[in-house]
Amino acid sequence: MKERRKWVIILLVLFSTAAILVGGICYIYNVQANLWNKAVTDILEVTAQGRHTLDVYLEKDEAALHLLASTLEGKRSGDEQALWEKVGLFGGGEDNTAYLCVDLASGAAYTDQNPPGGPLGEDRLQVFRSLEGSGVREPFLDDYTGVWTLGIYENFSFADGAPGLVQKSQPLSEIAERFSLSFYDDQGFSYVVNPAGDILIRSLHPNSNRTFQNLFDIIDLQGNSGKDIDAFRRALEQGKRGAARFRYQEEEYVFCYVPMESAAGWYVVSIIPNAVIMEQAGSIVEHSQILFLLILVSVFILAAFFIIYRDSTRRILLAEEQARRAAESANAAKSRFLSNMSHDIRTPMNAILNMTKLAEGHIGEPERMAGYLKNVELSGQLLLGLINDILDMSKIESGKLVLRQDPASLRDLLDNLSNIVSPMAEKKGLDFTLSCPDLQHDTLCFDSLRLNQVLLNLLSNAVKFTQEGGQVRMEVAERPSPKAGQARLVFRVADNGIGMQPEFLEHIFDSFTREQDSRVDKTEGSGLGMAIAKMIVDRMDGRITVESEPGKGTVFTVTLDLPLASPAPRLLTQERRDGPVDLTGRRILVAEDNELNREIARELLEGAGAQVECVENGQACVDRFTDAGAGYFDLILMDIQMPVLNGYEAARRIRRLDRPDAASIPIFAMTADAFSEDVEAAKEAGMDSHLAKPLDMPAMLREIQKHLEP
């Protein structure tokens, strides 16, 4: 009986050992598979970011080209001088971009270069005639430059009905510089291909093969499965997104492919060595092997004790239970990935769209229009900042964010937040309030855009995750700061929305995380918002905390110590006098090539009482000043980047005129060139002041008044 029991125990031990070995192998295989899937998912997302960057770049070019086409639609096909001038206005950049207009009927061509162009050869003309609608051409060898080029085109009709086509082209090498992606310490690289696998844009990566012209030529010669290759080919033809593994250069590589949006049928394909991807799994697999080895040893030890003391069965079961829990714990690790960018982008975009809609309904009410346009501008600036943060992942991950320390109005920031959030809350049927009863200081030194970004993210989340009829509250309190010369601001954003689970609160400030909850499954979000907010608050030496309970709401608290702003003595002196600026009786000449900017300047200056005349270029400005009598104009506002004659040269010519007021009339530069060298260039041209765009209108009026005072 004892012998039989002994053999039963031995068989049980052997069976358990075999089961553990099989389970361990399966577990390790699953770990490897999960880690590989996570890595491929991350690569797909980074590839999608690179695709998006290239799409945004191409869409920007398409918008510029569409603007040119719209401009040329108003011209007759035979008006060669006008057509050349219009095309020339869009050229002249420093990025080797070239613009071309083709009269498809006559074959005449107009470029932004000198000479303006001429009739096209029949071969080139037929190429352009074959292009339909608008889109992106596959790279071609430019006849003029002799370099491979990427072209964006759009068909249109001249005013006389003749068919026309405009094209914006740029060397392919410059596109490749913007497109190149890097993975795993620069061991991966990317191509842009068409559905047939033809390589359109090559990565500048040193491992990028520059011999092959087609992606399938690369993998066909490496002994890969024809079935796998056909499946890859069909995926590209059907516009799918995914990953495949192939042999390449005697090594297994992962091909991750994502379709582009701006160029139909084009793909961004990232190629990464599979061994590199699995390196991160090596240590986990090694530890898992050690774990199972220890389990096996434990099983033998327990079996020995069971044979000796007849009590080992319980210990074996306990060890197996511990092993099972360890395996379940290891399998519980979640992969994090970038799902989409809509959360942070949609908030300011919603404000822009709604404010624009409101403005359309109140066109006859200037004051309301001004308020709407101001909110559109602020939301647009925030949108630009968000896009820059999301696209530049290296900045987010490395913490290389640069914060400004400029004097700014806290009340203005809070008013702007209220103007953006109130329509969102009203549309959802929420009660929104913002209170700041005990603020002692308004002007402080901080990065208003970044602080606005943090608070808007908290408020938009509160609105998003609060049901109709709920409440969203923001309270701002000022407290004494332990730091000299600073004020402590406490921002509290509270809602009575759906709240968060305790386990999610531990990861709320991690990148790419969103709560897995049926209540928020349909809510869009990038998973970056709270990570960015935490990063900004940390960089401002502040603190952000969160309290939440499912079904009862969430409270975020941001605590910041902000330096007090030192007011400028000159501005204080003006304020003791800044009443509104009165320019009654003053004549001002405005030189600005942008019609919208001219109208803005005219209305603002006329609103201050001035008489305003506007011209569209530097030469017209010189001519109008020359034709007017001495002393007729009191001041000139001069844009710098203008056609025919730029602002610097126009100012020099005015200063050289032989008349008494040519040397004394104030000339202000107003330009988007805001670097120190631009200010110095304005002084060298004989200008009296430099106003950077976007213009600070109150500051501009004060500067004008200062120069016109007797």
pLDDT digits (tens, 9 = 90+) for 437-454: 888 898 999 988 789 889
Cβ neighbours of residue 451 closer than 8 Å, sequence gap 6 or more:
413, 536, 540, 560
- Segment 243-279, tens digit of pLDDT: 988 887 778 888 899 998 888 889 998 888 888 777 7
Give 516 or 696, the one with higher predicted confidence: 696
Burial 367-381 (b: 16+ CB within 10 A, else e): eeeebbeebbebbee
CA–CA gap between residue 545 and residue 557 (Å, rounded):
5
Out of 185-189, 282-286, 489-493, least confident range: 282-286
Cβ neighbours of residue 327 closer than 8 Å, sequence gap 6 or more:
23, 27
- Segment 319-345, tens digit of pLDDT: 778 777 755 644 543 444 344 455 457
Q: Are 49 and 135 in contact (CB under 8 A)?
A: no
Write down the pTM of the prediction: 0.44
What are the tokens at 186?
Answer: 């620069």
Residue span(s) of the chain under CATH 3.30.565.10 come to 342-563
CA–CA gap between residue 620 and residue 615 (Å, rounded):
6
What mean pLDDT, rounded, does the chain reach? 80
Q: Binning pLDDT at 50, 70 and 90, where does residue 635 land?
A: very high
Structural fold of domain 578-708 = Rossmann fold (3.40.50)
Q: At residue 228, does pLDDT exceed 60?
A: yes
CA–CA gap between residue 472 and residue 381 (Å, rounded):
25
Out of 84-93, 232-241, 683-692, least confident range: 84-93
DSSP 465-522: TS-TT-EEEEEEEEEE-SSTTEEEEEEEEEE-S----HHHHTTTTSTT-----TTTTT
Q: Are 592 and 565 in contact (CB under 8 A)?
A: no
pLDDT of residue 287: 67
- Segment 597-608, tens digit of pLDDT: 888 888 888 988
In this structure, CATH architecture of domain 1-336: 2-Layer Sandwich (3.30)
Out of 181-190, 407-416, 456-465, least confident range: 181-190
603: exposed, middle or buried (C-beta count within 10 Å: 0-12, 13-18, 19+)? exposed
Helix (H, G, I), strand (E, B) or coil at 440: coil
- Segment 357-375, tens digit of pLDDT: 788 888 888 888 888 888 8
As a whole number of angstroms, the longest Cα–Cα distance in the chain is 128
Q: State the first-to-last Cα distance of the chain, in angstroms, to the nearest integer.
A: 122
Average pLDDT on 105-128 reads 83
Measured in residues, the chain has a length of: 710
What are the tokens at 165?
Answer: 């086509």
Helix (H, G, I), strand (E, B) or coil at 442: coil
- Segment 130-175, tens digit of pLDDT: 999 999 998 888 777 778 888 999 999 999 999 999 999 888 888 7
Cβ neighbours of residue 691 closer than 8 Å, sequence gap 6 or more:
637, 668, 669, 670, 671, 699, 700, 703
Q: At residue 548, does pLDDT exceed 70?
A: yes
Structural fold of domain 342-563 = Heat Shock Protein 90 (3.30.565)
Q: Give yes or no for a cis peptide into 694 (omega within 30° of 0).
A: yes
Residue span(s) of the chain under CATH 3.30.450.20 come to 1-336
Phi-psi category of residue 285: left, alpha or beta, with phi > 0 → left and psi -120 to 50 → alpha: alpha
What are the tokens at 338?
Answer: 């970038």
pLDDT of residue 200: 85
Average pLDDT on 620-629 reads 94
User: Percentages helix, strand, coil for the chain, rounded to the nearest 5?
Assistant: 45, 20, 30
pLDDT of residue 339: 41
Nearest to 53 by CA among 179, 205, 239, 202: 179
Percent over 70 (pLDDT), the chain: 78
- Segment 384-415, tens digit of pLDDT: 656 655 554 445 455 556 677 889 899 989 99
- Segment 11-43, tens digit of pLDDT: 776 777 777 677 767 767 677 677 777 778 878
- In which element (H, E) is residue 571 found? helix 569-576
pLDDT of residue 524: 45
